[in-house]
Every structure is written in C-alpha cells, then in structure tokens.
Amino acid sequence: MLWYKSWLDTRARFLLALVVLLVFACGTVIGFPKVRELVTAVEPAAVTADESLRQELEEQREAIRTFRGYAWSQWFAGNFPTLLVLVAAMLGSGSPLRKSGSGALFLLALPVSRARWIGTRAGVGVVELFVVALGPSLLLVALAPFVGEQLQLSEAIVYGLSTFVGASLFFSVAMFWSTLFNDVWWPLLFTCLVWIGTVAIGAVLPEGRGIFAAMMGETYFHGGTLPWPELLLCAAAAPALVYAAAANVARRDF
C-alpha cells in the first residue's frame, strides 16, 4: 500500500518528465545530419581570431562529426544532466506528511513507522528517476540507425547511470528540504540553488572533476575511465540525506 500511495503522489510528474525527455532525445537524434552539415561547413578560423577559442571550436567540430561525439556533446554533456536534476528536484519535493495534505491523517494512522514511509517514498522516487535517466539514453541507441549511425549500448548505459547517480543526490536533497517545509516550491528552489552551487564549484576544479563533470561522463568519453570519487560521493551522500529526512519526520509533532 505504501508503494502504491507513493506512486499515486508522483506519477503525474514522473510520466510528464519521461515523455518530455523522450521527445527531446528524439529531436537530438533527428537533428544530427543537419547539425553535422552545418558544423562541417563552418571553419573556426572564419569565426574567431582567438587561438584558444579557435582550438576549442575545432575540437567540438571534430567531435560532432561522429554520432558518438555528437550524442555526448549535445545530449549527455548538454541539456540532459540539467534536465534530470530538475526532474529529481520535482520528484523529491513536496512533504508527504504536510499538514495540509489530504492523506496526512491516513498515513499517520497506518501501522508503519514514519521512517519506513519516507524510505518507501524515496525508493519509488529513485526507481522513477532511474527510468527517466535510462529511458532517453537507450532511445538514442534505438533511433541511431534511422540516421545511418550507431551508438554503443554500453556507452549509453554508462552515461545514463552516471547522470542517474549524480541526480539521485539532488533527489535526496529535495527530500531533505521537503521535511523542513510544508510546500513544494521552497524545497524545489533550494535544491536548484544547491545545483547552481555545485556547477559553480565544478567550474573552478580541474577539467573533468566535480559532480557536474561526473554526470556528463566527461572522463569516460575522453579517456574511458569513470569518475569514481564523485560517483561514490553521490552514492554515499544520497542515502545519508534520506536518513536525515526520515529522522526529521520522526521528530516532527503532527
């Protein structure tokens, strides 16, 4: 019953996010031939005289010439990580035991602990986030032949899982904030601020380091290695935040 109640509370946000990301993934694949044509036709030397910028543009151009590089730069290292963080924030925001909630008294009357209820809600949210992370990634593999290209299934899974692990941290952040506020918007706002701070910290770290770079799979794309420190940090911090959220709910006086 707890699993079903959690599903009812989040299914609209989950289904909407899944459909939107699947549509975006389709658009990314369909746009590959046109983008490759445009990028190939433009010479970096004609765009800028700055040597470092010209070199960067040349590297991006070379990457986009292949579907593997295009899929990574335009999707896995493009909009996908940010979109998935927003999805994670939406799935995690909203206190399940807020006083104004129609099901609060029913949930409090159930013969289960508040910690178990929070854990169940977190479990449902993580499964939903996992589907949203892997679904569009696998769709890229399935649609690549329609534009005459291929994308390795193993690579799509690695990128999707890396983004999922990072996004699960922000899902837990949203859950934690939701135990401190009785509405949806404040946890959502604070989670987005945490995300902005994470991106800002990553900008001053060495290239390929930081949670944002780990979600993009940058080191895997360039060198075939996974960013284990960042992934392990996210994997450890996410359940710790869920535990803290459960402790907050257990202490509250309803």
How is 185-252 classified by DSSP, letter by letter? HHHHHHHHHHHHHHHHHHHHSPTT-SHHHHHHTHHHHHHS---HHHHHHHHHHHHHHHHHHHHHHHH-
Choose among 220, 218, 227, 217: nearest CA to 160: 217
Q: What is the pLDDT of residues 203-237, one digit of tens each?
A: 888 887 889 999 999 899 888 899 899 999 999 99
Q: Which residue did the predictor score with more confidence, 48 or 22?
A: 22
Of 65, 91, 120, the last residue of a domain is 65
What whole-number distance in Å separates Cα of residue 254 and Cα of residue 244?
18
Question: What token pair was written down for 87?
Answer: 């999805």
* One domain, residues 9 and 124: yes
Residue 36: domain span: 31-65
* One domain, residues 118 and 61: no
* One domain, residues 126 and 144: yes
* One domain, residues 180 and 218: yes
Of 65, 85, 116, the last residue of a domain is 65
* One domain, residues 234 and 125: yes
pTM of the predicted structure, to 2 decimals: 0.87
Q: What is the pLDDT of residues 49-97, one digit of tens each?
A: 556 655 666 666 666 778 898 899 889 988 899 999 999 999 998 765 5
Q: For the chain, how many structural domains are there in total?
A: 2
Residue 33 burial (10 A CB sphere; 0-12, 13-18, 19+): middle
